[in-house]
Structure 1
Amino acid sequence: MIRLIASDLDGTIITPGGTISQRTREAFLAARDAGIEIVFVTGRPYRWLDPVVEAFGGLGSVICSNGAVLYDLASGEILFSRTLSAATARTAAQIILEHEPQASFAAETTKGLHLGPGFTDPHRPMECLGELDLNGPVLDSEGIVKFLARSPHLPIDDFYGLVAEQLGQMLSVTHSAFDMSLLEMAHVEIDKAQTLRVYAERLGIAPEEVMAFGDMPNDLQMLSYAGHGYAMASGHALVRHTAEYLAPPLLEDGVAQVIEGILK
């Protein structure tokens, strides 16, 4: 019996245009009405949940920043955060620059985004709190929930392969962006699965009662944890080949199709 549905957002239920379809919305609401707990699990910061709020209002909690933050939609409050230090981010930046001298950096904190030189595309400006200063006190006072590194020319799988083993000794390292070569780093003990496990245990829900959906490498641990882990047919090849189950593509409302099936 499924008691909890955990779903990634971008590439899983949020389209490239930034919307959630009516069919997907209705499927999740029907699952909730049937007594199934719903939690969204995303690499997005809690500040970027507008599509979820527009589709579902204050529906439950969202695990954000790849597991570093648990955010309550109803109250608009951070319920939990696991941060890493500026010193760890500095060390990670040094390691990355040894392999990719053109890398640029940013840090998502519990308060917002800090951008380093060259991180953003001038044609795609990003709202931020200010410039990234890995040596100042601000990052430690706010708490880094995700440290980001971008390569302007390396394919993401190559970029990840160059540094993942070395960085993995002190950080959780993954990637999820489909349109840029972007590494996402968090506290070494944090990933989507770790926070989802704690969330489920607090509800008295066992892994075999969890259904999860995802499309990118940052979803792999979550899909392995869940007794019913579905990769999107439109997702990353590694995820499709690793997950036990396959959902139809995003643009065919694949998650909704699976949910509708279990509710029949």
Structure 2
Amino acid sequence: MRLIASDIDGTILGHDGKISDRTVAAFQDAADAGVDIVFVTGRPPRWLDPIRERIGHLGTVICSNGAVTYDLATESVTASHLVPWEVVADVRAIVRGLVPEPYFALESLTGLHVEPGFLKPDAPLAAAVVPTQLLPQMADGGIIKLLAVVHHGSPDDFLELVRPRIGGLLAVTHSAPRSAMLEMGPPGINKAVTLAEYAAARGIAPADVVAFGDMPNDIEMLGWAGAGYAMGGGHPEALAAARLTAPLFEDDGVAQVIEARLAALR
């Protein structure tokens, strides 16, 4: 075990926004043993405070499902894959032709742009985000993700409907267990692709990587890593993609696996 790659939400971070003390200690013990740590998330760079504050991680975070590589020590983007406005416009038109009342948002390197109707009034970000029309000039900030939501149905059904129609325009996945929201990023880019580049640059083979995840946006990463662990209770497709299963998040599953693997190295 030379590298631990972990998803954040639902894997080490709960709906209450907390990371357990046991999980914090497990990552610290791994780092002290010389294991490289990288977090691999659907979150954008602006939303990494739990990792910084609780784990004290100041290294690399692979964000936005692989579209952005971010250095927490310098608070800077070190690599990115961008989506042209023309592709955004084409995909929006396709989705609008498939479902009634879809709403869209853009994640860019400079922030979040949300159109009216995307957020429900009781959504956590609703009070902090001013809705606006999505415009071509937003591409100047470097678009890294197009989000689409419908306020009905399931995320799995929405994904199954949209992904075949998008073709190679964008990579489509989801990570929200209850909200029918899709995350669409640069074609050919996912967590595994960027993580593989990170590992190769450090001479680390897939066989030496332990990865953790729980949702469809983790599928490629769990299949690529030599020891890919889907969280017990995770999405069925994540569980099917992984060779191994970690204990439940509620039981500090990631910490349990790290502790056992560190003990085996001694």
Same fold (TM over 0.5): yes
Change (3 A) 1:175 1:78: same
8 Å CA contact 1:175–1:184 kept in 2: the answer is: yes
Trace 1:6-21 onto structure 2 (pairs within 5 A): 6-21=5-20
Q: Which amino acid aligns with 2:216?
A: P
Could you say which residue in structure 2 is the equivalent of 1:54? 53
Could you say which residue in structure 1 is the equivalent of 2:79? 80
Could you say which residue in structure 2 is the equivalent of 1:119? 118
Matched, 1:110 2:109: yes
Q: Which moved more, 1:21-30 or 1:236-245?
A: 236-245
Deviation at 1:259, TM superposition (A): 0.3
Deviation at 1:126, TM superposition (A): 5.6
Change (3 A) 1:132 1:30: farther
- Please, what TM-score do these two structures have when normalized by structure 1? 0.96
Change (3 A) 1:231 1:126: farther
Could you say which residue in structure 2 is the equivalent of 1:261? 260
8 Å CA contact 1:62–1:73 kept in 2: the answer is: yes
Q: Distance in 2 between matches of 1:245 and 1:142?
A: 39
Structure 1 portions without partners, runs of 5+:
none
Could you say which residue in structure 2 is the equivalent of 1:192? 191
8 Å CA contact 1:112–1:128 kept in 2: the answer is: no
Could you say which residue in structure 2 is the equivalent of 1:131? 132
Q: Distance in 2 between matches of 1:95 and 1:55?
A: 41
Could you say which residue in structure 2 is the equivalent of 1:233? 232
Q: Secondary structure at the match of 2:250?
A: helix
Residues 20-59 of structure 1: per-residue CA shift (max 9 Å, x gap)? 1110000001001101000000001111111111112243
Deviation at 1:75, TM superposition (A): 1.1
Q: Distance in 1 between matches of 2:206 and 2:97?
A: 40
Deviation at 1:65, TM superposition (A): 0.5
Root mean square deviation of aligned Cα: 1.2
Q: Distance in 2 between matches of 1:242 and 1:56?
A: 28
Q: Distance in 1 between matches of 2:131 and 2:118?
A: 13
Deviation at 1:60, TM superposition (A): 1.1
Q: Distance in 1 between matches of 2:72 and 2:57?
A: 5
Structure 2 portions without partners, runs of 5+:
none
Q: Secondary structure at the match of 2:165?
A: helix
Structure 1 segments, 4+ long, off by >3 Å, are: 126-130
8 Å CA contact 1:147–1:184 kept in 2: the answer is: yes
Q: Distance in 1 between matches of 2:87 and 2:223?
A: 28
Q: Which amino acid aligns with 1:131?
A: T
Q: Secondary structure at the match of 2:97?
A: helix
Change (3 A) 1:59 1:246: same
Could you say which residue in structure 2 is the equivalent of 1:224? 223
Q: Distance in 2 between matches of 1:237 and 1:130?
A: 34
Change (3 A) 1:156 1:223: same
Q: Distance in 2 between matches of 1:209 and 1:220?
A: 18
8 Å CA contact 2:155–2:177 kept in 1: the answer is: no
Matched residues, percent identical? 49
Q: Which amino acid aligns with 2:215?
A: M
Could you say which residue in structure 2 is the equivalent of 1:3? 2
Residues 107-150 of structure 1: per-residue CA shift (max 9 Å, x gap)? 0000000001200011121644762424x32x221111110000
Paired residue total? 261
Q: Distance in 1 between matches of 2:199 and 2:31?
A: 15
Deviation at 1:67, TM superposition (A): 0.6
Could you say which residue in structure 2 is the equivalent of 1:167? 166
Q: Secondary structure at the match of 1:99?
A: coil
